[in-house]
Structure formats: structure tokens, C-alpha cells
Amino acid sequence: MLRSLKGCFAWSTCLKETFVGIFQMNILDLTGAPATKLLRISVCPGSSVKSKLEHVLEVVMEHRKGYMAPEYIDKGIISKKLDIFSLGVIIIEIMTGHKEYPDETETSSQQYIELVLNKWRHRPRKAPGYTSGDIDYQQIKRCIQIGLLCVKFDQVKRPTIRQIIKMLDGTEGAEAECFDERKDDMDPRDNLGRCMDASKGFGFSDVAKARARSEVAKARASYTKVVCCDFSSDGKLLATGGHDKKVVLWGTEPLRPKSVLEEHSFLITDVRFSPSMSRLATSSFDKTVRVWDADNTDYSLRTFTGHSASVMSLDFHPNKEDMICSCDSDGEVRSWSINNGSCLTCVKVFKGGATQMRFQPCKGKYLAVASDKTIYILDGVTQHACRNPLQGHNKLIQSLCWDSAGDYLASVTEDSARIWSFTSGHDGEFVHELNCSRNKFYSCVFHPTYLSLLVIGCYESLELWDIREKNTMTFNNAHEGTISALAASSATGKVASVSHDRFVKLWK
């Protein structure tokens, strides 16, 4: 009966009221068929909690996953969110006909939602009392989203019943994972690593005194992986791009989308703002580079074609407003004139594909290009090699960045981070190295105010490396996936992070 289409679409009298009723209950056990079992202490006179739990354990041993939360199955822990997990399994069973739910590490929520919606797409018209396909479709989607939130492996990330009701009322997004409500359930010590004031720098001696969160904003940037980001020179705009072939332009005060750039035909690989003008540029697997007016993003100002392979990265010259460079997966580096739309130089620099390229800030003397395990240092104007490559990494270089003065270059691979000095008398000299001990490195950026601090993006966490003090500190649970790109704004003191979890976050 619970699986009937009619029941699913009687929204105000079925699902929504059920959630409101459950909010007033004290649910102990949601094992067994949801149509026949909703056991509560208050309706089981004469049954001791111990005997009830023994019965639950027997059921769990038989059915393994069932309706029971993983913390109970694995560790025997009865958490505050145990019943929320069970409710999520029931919701998923109602919407799909079975109680299997996707593994967070294997199937993205969006893929699962689309799969289920495709099966439901033509069913509402058959239901009695059908009035609006759009409304029903959105209700189905929201219900699936709520179910997936409820079955999060980490109990802290599951919503409360109050939040679920708000989601059903439409006053709270089911797409968002509610972080603010975690405060009551969290140990204050969990926040210590996320609370430094950027105006004072990240002082390691002050960590124990820190109380407030450093995460100041969070938003879903895409329904697919996000792989690049950059701040405008004044820090008021942030651009993000990724696998959905779109670039989202955000206002940062507060963090809200302003416009979407949609001319590329394949995934976005890089996005960069001009340091001196209201422009941004994007590169893509579609082998093109596009330049946009940040104040009018209805269409691109220029589209550069000529690369024979996917364009992997690009950057504006810091001193030449008309010049932009790009590199592709075939080892070719090109420079372009924005004003006349022509290719200025085309150089085959190395064998194999490029990962990332960045001009030396302020000076513009060098252009650093990462390819495989090597960093090639090119002349900033001619793009010819002007010194020996920087070597020493044992794995593919994932990311590189300059400090704001252009004195130091950082590079990261999965297992290490290196610092190279370009100060007077140290033209590309290797000076520091941090070996990865726990989590793989994927991205990096120098902190905008604490200048000796390198922020490294890992899988779900941020690693802070104080090069001067030779200390490190980890921010756990920064994201729920690989932190694919980082950006820093000297104007605002903020750091932006984007991840394969589809979210963008601002930190301060």
C-alpha cells in the first residue's frame, strides 16, 4: 500500500503529515516492513528497552543494512539520528520500490535522482486526481533528495525532523546540507581548526582559543564536479566552472550567483580574471579559449580557436592587458591578442600534456607551466624556455601557484608539495618540501594575508602549511570530495574552494 502511486501523490495528507507526526514521536526501532512496523517505546508497554534492542539486533544480523543506521550496525551506537536514517530508507523505498540506496562514494546523488526521476516521469499522469505534472515532479524530486540526506553515512550530516518539515514546506532547500544546525550536536573542539581570523593571519598558537567557524559562505555551484575557480581583482566576484560546461559568476557579498556563461560545448578546465580589467577568460575541452566582459556576460567578447587538443589552462599577462596565454593537452602553448583576436605566438614546449599554467604576478617575467612531473619556466612574452625546468617531483603535478609578490612558486602532487624561490639570486631554487602523510594533495594557493602559509586542497580536507614555522594543520570535513581548486583574494582576505562534491565555499 505504501508503494502505491496514489499514496505517493496525496502529499498534504500522506507524506507531509507523516513527517509532522513522526516529529512528535520517540522512535526506537524502524526495522521490518514500514507498512507494518513503526515501533515506539510509548506503544510498547511491558517491553523493556533491553529486550527491544536485543530483538532489533537479531533483525539487523539477519538483514544487515535494512533500516538500521551504519553507526548501530558497525559499533552498536544508538545516535540521535538513528531514526532519521531509518526514515530515509523508508522514503527511498516508497519512491523506488526497494530499500537499497546509493553508496556515497560510488554514485552521486544527482545521478541517482535523475535515474529515479526518469522512471517516474510518465507515471503521475496515471495517478487519480492528477492536476499538474510540474508540481508533482518537483515533489517527487524533493522527496528523493530528503531520503538521500537522511541516509548520509555521517549522522551529523543528516537533517532533523524540523528541517525535513521545512524542506517539505519549501522554506528550506533539500539540496543543501544543513551545516548551521550541526552546532548543537558538535563538540566545540571540532571547530578549532576552522576558526582563524584572516585579518590576524593563521596563528598556530591561537588555534586553541578559536571558537567561531572560518567557513563564511557555501553554495551549490553545479550538479556535476566543479574543477576551477578564481576571484576578480577586487574580490567582489568569483567565477567557478566544471563538468557541466558552464561558468557561474558569483557575487561574494553575499555569495550569490549573478550570471551563467554557457557557450562552451565541453567541460570547463580553467577560469581566470584579468588583474587590471573587468574581464575573465575560460578554457575548455572543446579546444577553445573565450574572453568575457564581467559586466555583460550575455555573450563572449572573443573566441580563440587553433589548439589541436583540449585546452587545459590559461592566464592573463599581469602587465599586458591585451595578452592572454593558454596551453593544451598536447604540450602546445599559445598567446593571443584580445584586441584583434589573433594568435601572437605558438610554441610546442614539451612532450605530453600540460596541467596548469600561471604567470608570475606583478613582474610577468616568467610563465610557469606544469607538465607531468616537471615545471617549465617560459619567457613571459615569447613563451620560449628561458631557464632549466624545475624537477624533483615523483608524480604528476596537480596544481601550481605563485605568491602575490611573485617571489615564490608552489607546486603539489598527490604525495608532496614543493616551494621554489624566485627571489634575487635564487632563480627557481628548490627551498622547501612537505611530504603527504595522510591525505593526497590536489590543489594549492598562498593565503592572501598570512603570506608564508600555503593552503593545500586534499580529499575532503584542507591542509595548512606554514613554510616559515615549518608547521602544518588540517581542516577536516572542509568538503565531501576532492578539493579540486583554490583561489585567494588579497582585497578581501578570503579563500575560495571548489570540490567534486559540487559546492563552492568561502573561508576567512
Task: Specify which of 103-112, 371-380, 433-442 reaches the highest per-range mean pLDDT.
Answer: 371-380
Q: What is the pLDDT of residues 201-248, one digit of tens each?
A: 333 334 333 333 467 788 888 888 999 999 999 999 999 999 999 999
Which stretches does DSSP call E strand in 86-236? Answer: 215-220, 226-231
What distance in Å separates the CA atoms of residue 462 and residue 458, rounded to the nearest whole number? 6
Which stretches does DSSP call E strand in 236-338? Answer: 237-242, 247-252, 255-261, 268-273, 279-284, 289-293, 302-304, 311-316, 323-328, 332-337
If we measure between CA atoms, which residue out of 233, 242, 297, 307 comes closest to residue 271? 242
Burial state string for 295-314 with b = 16 or more CB within 10 A and e = fewer than 16: eebeebebebebbeebbbbb
- DSSP assignment string, 374-412: EEEEEETTT--B-SPPB---SS---EEEE-TTSSEEEEE
Q: What is the pLDDT of residues 113-162, one digit of tens each?
A: 878 887 776 565 555 555 554 446 677 888 888 989 998 888 888 998 88
Q: What is the pLDDT of residues 167-208, one digit of tens each?
A: 877 655 555 443 333 333 333 323 323 333 333 333 333 433
* DSSP β-bridge partners for residue 471: 466
* DSSP β-bridge partners for residue 374: 371
What distance in Å separates the CA atoms of residue 126 and residue 100, rounded to the nearest whole number? 25
Give this prediction's pTM.
Answer: 0.62
Report the 3 state secondary structure along 439-503. CCEEEEEECCCCCCEEEEEEECCEEEEECCCCEEEEECCCCCCEEEEEEEECCCCEEEEEECCCE
pLDDT of residue 121: 67
What lies within 8 Å, CB to CB, of 305 at 6+ separation is 287, 288
Question: In whole angstroms, how large is the CA radius of gyration of the chain?
Answer: 26
pLDDT of residue 128: 54
Q: What is the mean pLDDT of residues 18-25?
A: 50
Q: What is the pLDDT of residues 466-499, one digit of tens each?
A: 998 888 998 888 999 999 999 999 999 999 999 9
- C-alpha grid cell for residue 366? 616568467
What distance in Å separates the CA atoms of residue 270 and residue 314, rounded to the nearest whole number? 7
- C-alpha grid cell for residue 107? 554514485
- Matching residue, cell 578564481: 230
How many other C-beta atoms lie within 10 A of the C-beta of residue 80?
Answer: 12
pLDDT of residue 56: 52
If we measure between CA atoms, which residue out of 343, 391, 386, 345 comes closest to residue 370? 391
Least confident of 51-55, 134-138, 453-457, 486-490: 51-55
Instruction: Give, in degrees to the nearest 5, the angle at Cα 34 between 28 and 38.
Output: 30
What distance in Å separates the CA atoms of residue 423 and residue 347, rounded to the nearest whole number? 27
Q: What is the mean pLDDT of residues 64-75?
A: 72
pLDDT of residue 18: 53
* DSSP β-bridge partners for residue 418: 411, 433
- Matching residue, cell 546540507: 177
pLDDT of residue 8: 46
Q: What is the pLDDT of residues 249-283, one digit of tens each?
A: 999 989 999 999 999 999 999 999 999 999 999 99
- Matching residue, cell 526497494: 98
Q: What is the mean pLDDT of residues 50-70?
A: 58
- Amino acid code (one letter) for 361: P
Q: Where exactly are the structural domains of the chain?
A: 5-181, 188-507
Specify burial of residue 189 (Cβ count, 10 A radius: 0-12, 13-18, 19+).
Answer: exposed
Per CATH, the architecture of 5-181 is what? Orthogonal Bundle (1.10)
- Matching residue, cell 537533517: 159
Q: What is the pLDDT of residues 87-98, one digit of tens each?
A: 988 888 888 887
If we measure between CA atoms, which residue out of 376, 460, 482, 411 comes closest to residue 154? 460
Above 80 in pLDDT, residue 45?
Answer: no
What lies within 8 Å, CB to CB, of 493 at 6+ separation is 198, 199, 448, 449, 508
pLDDT of residue 488: 97
pLDDT of residue 183: 37
Strand, helix or coil at 179? coil
Least confident of 38-47, 129-138, 141-150, 445-454: 38-47
Above 90 in pLDDT, residue 402?
Answer: yes
**In the chain, helix, strand, coil percent, each to 5?**
25, 30, 45
- Amino acid code (one letter) for 380: G
What distance in Å separates the CA atoms of residue 71 and residue 78, rounded to the nearest whole number? 7
pLDDT of residue 503: 93
Q: Are 444 and 486 in contact (CB under 8 A)?
A: yes
Q: What is the mean pLDDT of residues 64-79?
A: 74
Above 50 in pLDDT, residue 291?
Answer: yes
- DSSP assignment string, 157-176: GSPPHHHHHHHHHTSS-SSS
CATH of 188-507, one of 3.40.50.10190, 2.60.120.10, 1.10.3720.10, 2.130.10.10: 2.130.10.10
If we measure between CA atoms, which residue out of 241, 48, 82 comes closest to residue 154? 82
